[in-house]
Amino acid sequence: MVNLKINGIAVSVPEGSTILQAAKLANIRIPTLCYLKEIQCIGSCRMCLVEATGARGLVAACVYPVSEGMEVRTNTPRVRKSRKTSLELILSTHKKKCLSCVRSMNCELQKLALEYNAEEDKFGTDHDIKPIDDLSPSVVRDNSKCIMCTRCVAACEKQTIGAIGSKNRGYAKTIGSPFDVSLAHTPCVNCGQCVVACPVGALYEKSSVADVWGAIVDPSKKVVFFTAPSVRATLGEAFGLPVGTNVEGKMVTAIKQLGDISCFNMDTTADLTIMEEANELLSRLKNGGATPMFTSCCPGWIKFCEHYYPEFLPNLSTCKSPQEMFSALLKTYYCKKNGIDPKDLYVVSVIPCTAKKFEITREELGNYTDSAITTRELAKMIKEAGVDFVNLADSPYDDPFGLASGAGAIFGATGGVMEAALRTAAMALGDADEPIVFNEVRGTQGLKEATFTLGGKTVSVAIASGLANARKIIESIKSGEKNYTFVEIMACPGGCVNGGGQPYVHDEVRNSIDLKTLRAQALYDYDSDSAVRCSHDNATVTNLYNEFFGEPNSHKAHELLHTSYVARPKY
């Protein structure tokens, strides 16, 4: 252990720790901009500068290692002045259209500028308005607001995509795709990890809020919303509630206050996915189809596979994602049952994800979803409608897609789809114990593997979240080192709870809590409190098969609930 003092407070930290880490232990806050836990640590923004004995000038706390007897000062006039000047230099090239900015009141630069009394125009305003890239259906880039922290680049590298990088250097430096092409024309998988890494308003989702408002006031349209499993666990954050608060009831009430809207539970089609996927897997094993079978609910992962591992496309489950199954169901079964012309039904999915916005544009899925809005966009609509979210009473989801199983809810966390599938597989394979909880597949670590014996059969599974981990698993399968029956892959580290469409979390909070675990816990608690825990026990799903589909993987199910994939070039 190394002993040092920070602002006179003695701390003892493991050797190799940085000043920033030591300060956290002493409960001393050091501001950061370019630093982001697990993503980037390069000491370039100069916000975390501190005085340290033995160092010549001010040092960057995020990268400077502690040493025995070191004395650190984080709050001297020299330090404060330096931070203020750094902020003023950043502000001099930043498009300061704060009032209408997507990040206003939630912007890390704005917050620091206020704290350090930085003047917007100390060094004049010298920014040329750079073109906005909004050709991607998922992510918009406004480089006039970019502060060159490169957190987005690091997040993209971390996903092993590298669709964006820096160009030129010094004052001419910009961030974007190679050769200035639009992000839409790169192998970007639309995961949106760049968006949630951005400290300012330079990156945001392509908004569908205006379209949805338009449909709500259109008398010829019947508007239906359905919400993805993880949204209940994160939406509250946008209204100041603690991370990991389940706000399902308030969310449904709030959506109904936006207009005459029916609000459904997407967990229903998560359950439906399990029924289709489990049967598909059993038939692959029986008929010698491609194995291991990979899950197909995550549109970021699907596009990744199409770009980087087209040879594994036959291994992808042909099941559509829960979003697309739901929309197909609404525009067929639901419309027929309620005498609605499908063109008058406006289907809105609320998702934690920017890649889902790309997914709804895929022709082969039938274009059944009219708009896909992120958790952040829903929060924006609720605020715009003047709804007092925190004090709302709970409402249940609407029939006939209100009740679902806890298995469907845990789809929102890494390992959740696998656990839901294992519950149903245990039933299908006639396992007498009917196990519900599979602890081996839980947890937010990026790579998990386990082997189970269910009904006398050995089932070997693997789970990856984050595309770097997806790559590792695929490479190990490719080389023959590993062999699995079933593999779950989610593009975002931790799964949908950490999706690119989830509420912005300030670096300071993100650096100090385990965001993924807290959000996931809300879903696991929801599951353990659920009356129905298994997809095959979901009465709505059973009813759908009886009334409409016949049986899993039937002709009709194939027509509406399954899809195909296409290899895509990398460049």
For the annotated catalytic residues, the residue numbers are 277, 280, 297, 317, 356, 359, 364, 496
User: Prior bond to 31 cis, omega within 30?
Assistant: no
Structure tokens at 94: 């930043």
* Number of helices followed by number of strands (H, E) in the chain: 21, 18
**Least separation in angstroms between CB 186 and another protein:** 8
**Least separation in angstroms between CB 179 and another protein:** 5
Task: Choose the binding region for another protein from 99-107, 119-127, 167-175, 351-359 (rule: CB under 8 A).
Answer: 167-175
Residue among 27, 100, 168, 220 that touches another protein (CB under 8 A) = 168
Binding mask 116-155 for another protein (x = CB under 8 A): -------------------------------------x--
Q: What is the sign of the dihedral through the CA atoms of 235, 237, 243 and 245?
A: negative
The answer to whether residue 439 forms part of the interface with another protein (CB under 8 A) is: no
Residue among 219, 287, 341, 570 that touches another protein (CB under 8 A) = 570
Strands 457-465 and 486-490: parallel
Task: Tell the residue number behind the tokens 């979240």, with chain if given.
Answer: 465
Residue among 165, 314, 366, 435 that touches another protein (CB under 8 A) = 165
**Least separation in angstroms between CB 356 and another protein:** 24
The answer to whether residue 69 forms part of the interface with another protein (CB under 8 A) is: no
Instruction: Report DSSP letters for 218-286, one per residue.
Output: -TT-EEEEEE-TTHHHHGGGGGTPPTT---HHHHHHHHHHTSSEEEEETHHHHHHHHHHHHHHHHHHHH
Binding mask 296-335 for another protein (x = CB under 8 A): ----------------------------------------
Structure tokens at 490: 């989610």
Residue among 134, 157, 211, 537 that touches another protein (CB under 8 A) = 157
**Least separation in angstroms between CB 476 and another protein:** 17
Q: Which residues pair with 222 in a beta bridge?
A: 345
**Least separation in angstroms between CB 189 and another protein:** 13
Residue among 8, 129, 169, 456 that touches another protein (CB under 8 A) = 169
Residue among 20, 139, 147, 161 that touches another protein (CB under 8 A) = 161
The answer to whether residue 164 forms part of the interface with another protein (CB under 8 A) is: yes
CA quadruple 159, 163, 166, 167: dihedral, nearest 10? 170
Output 153 or 328, the one with its CB closest to another protein.
Answer: 153
The backbone region for 45, taken as left when phi is positive above 0, alpha when psi lies in -120 to 50, beta otherwise, is: alpha
Q: Give the separation between CA 4 and CA 66, rounded to whole angstroms.
A: 7
Residue among 167, 221, 482, 556 that touches another protein (CB under 8 A) = 167
Residue among 3, 12, 125, 166 that touches another protein (CB under 8 A) = 166
Binding mask 91-110 for another protein (x = CB under 8 A): --------------------
The answer to whether residue 571 forms part of the interface with another protein (CB under 8 A) is: yes
Task: Number of residues interacting with another protein: please give it, by CB under 8 A.
Answer: 16
Output 171 or 571, the one with its CB closest to another protein.
Answer: 571
Task: Choose the binding region for another protein from 62-70, 158-166, 195-203, 377-385 (rule: CB under 8 A).
Answer: 158-166
Residue 301: partners with Cβ closer than 8 Å, 6 or more residues away:
189, 294, 295, 467, 470, 489, 490, 491
Residue 255: partners with Cβ closer than 8 Å, 6 or more residues away:
225, 227, 261, 263, 350, 378, 382
Binding mask 171-210 for another protein (x = CB under 8 A): ------xxx-------------------------------
The answer to whether residue 483 forms part of the interface with another protein (CB under 8 A) is: no
Positions of E strands within 360-433: 371-374
Segment holding 4, helix H or strand E: strand 2-6
Task: Tell the residue number behind the tokens 């992120």, with chain if given.
Answer: 374
Question: What are the b/e assignments for 286-313, b being 16+ CB within 10 Å?
Answer: eeeeebbbbbbbbbbbbbbbbbbbeebb
Positions that interact with another protein (CB under 8 A): 153, 157, 161-169, 177-179, 570-571
